[in-house]
Amino acid sequence: MDFLPQNISDYAEAHTTAEHDLLKKLNRDTHLKILQPRMLSGHLQGRFLAEISHLMRPRRILEIGTYTGYSALCLAEGLVDDGKLITIDINEELETFTRSFFEASAFAHKIEYIIGDAAEIIPTLNEVFDLVFIDADKMNYTKYYNLVFDLVRKGGYILSDNVLWSGKVANIQEGKKIDKDTRNLLDFNKMCHDDPRTENILLPIRDGIMISRKI
Ligand code: SAH
Ligand code: CA
């Protein structure tokens, strides 16, 4: 999932503010106790998401795909005083673990954690978002993008994670079969790039983040 040579990525992490204690514990405990820990954003991407949030000072953030809450806690850092982050995950088995970290954080009162299918929850949200982070099942990225689009303010951002899909989207070979998730992400990236309502940059950090700004 990491495209940078190991020494470069080690050096970048070594010169990036360390994870504070709660995130370090969340990272460690997720690896010890939870399935598929590589889904967690991790140190470098986490600091990137936090920095975006500090730059923007958002009032409303929506996250689709909480997992154990690592990216939610990073994104919450820059929220204004009366700001709120809504995060949705369909996996109720993660709820107790994840909620305990939200409650231990300084952002407990700013995080609304909803268990359910994002495709069903999003249409019920009565908010205008400054920032949306799409990071759930890759099959439904286009659906999530279309569902959230009208809820994002002009000048707001949609960040979509894992759009390089371990590099697979850039390794298409004639005559070779393309797996389903890769196909979905190819279509999603093209749709984002062709959308005249946004300006976009595909940032090759970690597994690739599509940054779309609504113009
Ligand atoms: N954002 C997290 C990682 C998310 S992993 C981080 O960076 O640390 C992807 C998550 O999407 C999983 O926890 C999975 O349960 C969730 N997910 C999958 N399908 C979903 C759906 N239909 N609605 C909401 N969440 C979903
Ligand atoms: Ca991700």
> Do the domain assignments include residue 19?
yes
Token code pair at residue 70: 């690592």
Compute the distance from residue 40 Cα to the ligand 2 centre, in Å: 7
Query: Is 174 domain-assigned?
Result: yes
Q: What is the pLDDT of residue 165?
A: 96
Of ligand 1's listed atoms, the one at least distance from the Cα of 118 is: 23
Nearest Cα to 67, choosing from 13, 143, 133?
133
Residues with CB under 6 A from ligand 1: 39-41, 65, 67, 70-71, 88-91, 117-119, 135-137
| Closest ligand to the CA of 210 | 2
Q: Is residue 139 domain-resident?
A: yes
- Which residue, 128, 148, 153, is CA-closest to 136? 148
Question: Is the CB of residue 161 less than 8 Å from the CB of residue 209?
Answer: yes
For 149-204, what is each residue's pLDDT tens digit? 999 999 999 999 999 999 999 999 999 999 999 999 999 999 999 999 999 999 99
Examine residue 107 and state whether it is found in any structural domain, yes or no.
yes
Q: Is residue 51 part of a domain?
A: yes
Which tokens sit at 27? 């990272």
Give residue 213's pLDDT. Answer: 98
In this predicted structure, what is the pLDDT of residue 3? 78
Please report the pLDDT score of residue 189 as a whole number: 98
- Nearest ligand, CA of residue 73? 1
Question: Average pLDDT, whole number, for the chain?
Answer: 97
Total count of domains within the chain: 1
Q: What is the pLDDT of residues 30-75, one digit of tens each?
A: 999 999 999 999 999 999 999 999 999 999 999 999 999 999 999 9
Q: State which of 27, 74, 89 you would mutate to test the pocket of ligand 1, scoring each by most atoms of that ligand within 8 A of its C-beta.
A: 89
- Which residues, in sequence order, are bridge partners of residue 85? 61, 111
Task: Note whether residue 183 is domain-resident.
Answer: yes
Q: Each residue of 75-123: pLDDT tens digit?
A: 999 999 999 999 999 999 999 999 999 999 999 999 999 999 999 999 9
Whole-angstrom Cα distance, residue 138 to residue 160?
A: 10
Instruction: Please tell me the distance between residue 42's alpha carbon and the centre of ligand 2 in angstroms.
Output: 9
Query: How far, in Å, from the CA of 89 to the mean position of ligand 1?
Result: 5
Query: Does residue 27 sit within a domain?
Result: yes
Give strand pairing partners of 115.
89
Closest ligand 1 atom number to CA of residue 46: 7
Is 1 a member of any domain? no
Give the number of the ligand closest to the Cα of residue 41: 1
Q: By alpha-carbon position, which residue is closest to atom 15 of ligand 1?
A: 91
- The domain spanning residue 88 has which CATH number? 3.40.50.150
Instruction: Find the angle CA(66)-CA(165)-CA(158) to the nearest 5 degrees.
Output: 50
Domain that holds residue 20: 6-214
